[in-house]
Amino acid sequence: MDIVYWTVGRDDLTTDAGSALPFEKFLTSYEIERLSYLRFPKRRAEWLLGRWTIKYLLRHSIPAFNGWQPGLVQVKNEPEGMPYLENTGKQTPLPANISISHRDHYAFCAITGSAPLKIGVDIELIESRPPSFLEDFFTQNEYQQGLSFQGYQRDVWFTLIWSLKESVLKALGKGLRLDTRCVEVRDIGVVLPLKTAGAAQWFNARVVYEGEPDVQWCAWWRKQDRFVYTLAARLPDAHTTPQLQEVPANLEE
């Protein structure tokens, strides 16, 4: 069975002073150059945290890369934006698929050593969205179901559906270049509102991408604190459902 490893990093645990980790310790020269083009402190901090977290996850998940030093691997992007890991010395992609998302001092990352398994992750802050946004980016079924909730539960619903769409579009390697309505969430696997005791567990969702109606997808989500986390995997033909496995992040390592 294939495994999708995941972790969540927090930048408020990086140093005693609360500043970003010393990036020279885990960035390659290519990544330091990329960082130099990011002007805004918030964007720089998010970018740094995402790079640190995915490298940590690589070193502590897939056995072939256990103990790899951060400078031996770097994050690059395909022309359409999908990230991948490259062996710095050989300048060749590593046999692993990754996805990175960040929001409000958190980075949510996933990795799998199964080459055919395409994955996407997203982290979203639970918040209200204007009616124009809901009408433009959700299918009619999703929109109408969301209107059946009130207040905070409505915010949870639309945040969750939006996040699942983002994860699917990332796994496709397209991101928001595609109309979000081409992905429809058919079932979230549980009835809202969630009980507090079960809020941090993973639930299965059923999603469909209209561009590949016969392709099977696996999707998961969890609500924790102020956030919704989602993960989607595009399954190759006759592929079994992958297993999720957490790798707790230790940002002081």
Which tens digit of pLDDT belongs to each residue from 27-60?
999 999 999 999 998 898 899 999 999 999 999 9
Rounded CA separation 79/33 (Å): 18
Look at residue 238 in the predicted model and tell me its pLDDT.
Answer: 64
Inform me whether the pLDDT recorded for 252 exceeds 80.
no
Inform me whether the pLDDT recorded for 168 exceeds 60.
yes
> pLDDT over 90 for what percent of the chain?
72
CB atoms within 10 A of CB 6: 23
Whether 98 and 115 have beta carbons less than 8 Å apart is answered as no
- Residues 71-83 have pLDDT tens digits of 899 999 998 889 9
In the chain, the amino acid numbered 253 is E
Strands 118-125 and 73-77 turn out to be unpaired
Sort 178 into a burial class: Cβ within 10 Å, 0-12 / 13-18 / 19+: middle
Between 138 and 251, name the one with better pLDDT: 138
Q: Domains in the chain, please, with CATH?
A: 3-117 (3.90.470.20), 122-234 (3.90.470.20)
Look at residue 200 in the predicted model and tell me its pLDDT.
Answer: 77
Look at residue 85 in the predicted model and tell me its pLDDT.
Answer: 97
Q: Which has the minimum average pLDDT: 72-76, 139-143, 211-215?
A: 211-215
- Alpha carbon distances (Å) from 222 to 73, 92, 129, 235: 30, 34, 20, 21
- Residues 150-166 have pLDDT tens digits of 999 999 999 999 999 99
Strand pairing partners for 4? 244
